[in-house]
């Protein structure tokens, strides 16, 4: 979020608030209505992760059947490893920036001087996290991801330094806590208990902002189903805390070969009645598949689906 323009966010959310005031969100589709349909889950004995429901590569939810009934894991892919790696880098970079600020209010230059040399260490830890979850990677894939992780880390630190200098210039008497609140994303990897609505007990929201908005970091191509994740997290936060979460945005990060600087784009949206209802319908359908053990059958599979190699090998 260091690289997201605060003024641009303000303008975008002003438009979204106007849209929300015209359409509204009905009480029955707020997370705090967890004790009545359609938010009430079929059962709280089977819990799903948000990504398990929101990543709708498979239109028939056969991925749920393969994972939950047949206990088949998707083959490791570069896309999967990249997602884990860049999320880990984002998490660690922000933690390091916060620690540096609380250690003595550094200037942007001091931050760069102190943290940029640690890029190799961060990359090494990142690859250890990825391989611990996915297993050993090929030398070629590992080298590619190391380059991307280091590039993303450097980009985040430089952007954080610029944001800190801007904040210190505007608020010269800000203490560490005030500086963090202005210059650093408010909450990263925010934990929330989603069990009241049939989701996991320890969900992790990529970024939760003071705009009553959820930001989701994506490292792949733009997909139509990406807003479902924000809907799931919004419902979980509303259920646990009773506060409305109205907006979402997806941050797409791309690191192209030959470019030292990552590119990014943002997609903003209201977490609308329609989006909430569709997410809840997916949850209920997934529950039915798990309870009955029914194979929902294969759709016309896109080759970018994580389970494509599994289904295509069945003949």
pLDDT digits (tens, 9 = 90+) for 34-52: 999 999 999 999 999 999 9
Q: How confident is the model at residue 178 (pLDDT cuts 50, 70, 90)?
A: confident
Q: How confident is the model at residue 287 (pLDDT cuts 50, 70, 90)?
A: very high
The DSSP bridge pattern shows strands 203-209 and 213-218 to be antiparallel
The lowest-confidence range among 16-25, 115-124, 204-213, 245-254 is 204-213
User: CB-side exposure of 150: number of CA atoms within 13 Å?
Assistant: 16
Closest CA to 89 of 2, 133, 149: 149
Q: How confident is the model at residue 186 (pLDDT cuts 50, 70, 90)?
A: low
Instruction: Name 247's bridge partners.
Output: 213, 270
Decide which of 254 and 10 is more confident: 254
Question: Quick one: pLDDT at residue 151?
Answer: 94
Secondary element (H or E) of residue 252: strand 247-254
C-alpha span between 12 and 72 (Å, rounded): 41
Residue 246 has pLDDT above 90, yes or no: yes
Q: What is the mean pLDDT of residues 210-232?
A: 87
Q: CB neighbours of 192 closer than 8 A, spacing ≥ 6?
A: 203, 205, 233, 236, 237, 240
Residue 148 has pLDDT above 70, yes or no: yes
Question: Quick one: pLDDT at residue 315?
Answer: 60
Question: Quick one: pLDDT at residue 226?
Answer: 95
């Amino acid at each position: 979020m260091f690289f997201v323009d605060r003024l641009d966010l303000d303008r975008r959310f002003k438009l979204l608030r106007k849209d929300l005031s015209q359409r509204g969100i009905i009480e029955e589709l707020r997370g705090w209505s967890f004790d009545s349909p359609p938010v009430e889950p079929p059962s709280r004995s089977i819990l799903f992760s948000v990504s398990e429901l929101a990543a709708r590569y498979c239109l028939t939810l056969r991925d749920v059947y393969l994972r939950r009934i047949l206990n088949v894991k998707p083959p490791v892919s570069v896309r999967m490893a990249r997602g884990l790696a860049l999320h880990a880098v984002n998490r660690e970079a922000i933690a390091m920036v916060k620690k540096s600020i609380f250690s003595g209010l550094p200037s942007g230059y001091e931050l760069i001087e102190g943290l940029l040399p640690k890029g190799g260490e961060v990359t090494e830890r990142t690859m250890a996290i990825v391989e611990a979850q996915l297993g050993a990677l090929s030398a070629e894939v590992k080298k590619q991801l190391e380059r991307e992780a280091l590039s993303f880390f450097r980009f985040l630190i430089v952007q954080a330094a610029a944001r800190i200098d801007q904040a210190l210039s505007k608020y010269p008497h800000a203490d560490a806590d005030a500086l963090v609140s202005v210059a650093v994303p408010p909450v990263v990897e925010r934990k929330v208990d989603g069990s009241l609505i049939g989701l996991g007990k320890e969900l992790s929201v990529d970024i939760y902002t003071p705009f009553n908005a959820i930001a989701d970091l994506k490292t792949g191509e733009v997909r139509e189903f990406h807003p479902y994740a924000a809907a799931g997290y919004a419902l979980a936060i509303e259920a646990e805390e009773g506060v409305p979460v109205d907006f979402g945005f997806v941050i797409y990060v791309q690191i192209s070969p030959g470019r030292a600087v990552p590119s990014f784009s943002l997609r903003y949206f209201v977490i609308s009645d329609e989006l909430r209802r569709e997410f809840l319908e997916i949850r209920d359908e997934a529950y039915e598949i798990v309870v009955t053990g029914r194979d929902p059958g294969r759709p016309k599979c896109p080759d970018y689906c994580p389970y494509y190699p599994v289904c295509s090998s069945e003949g």
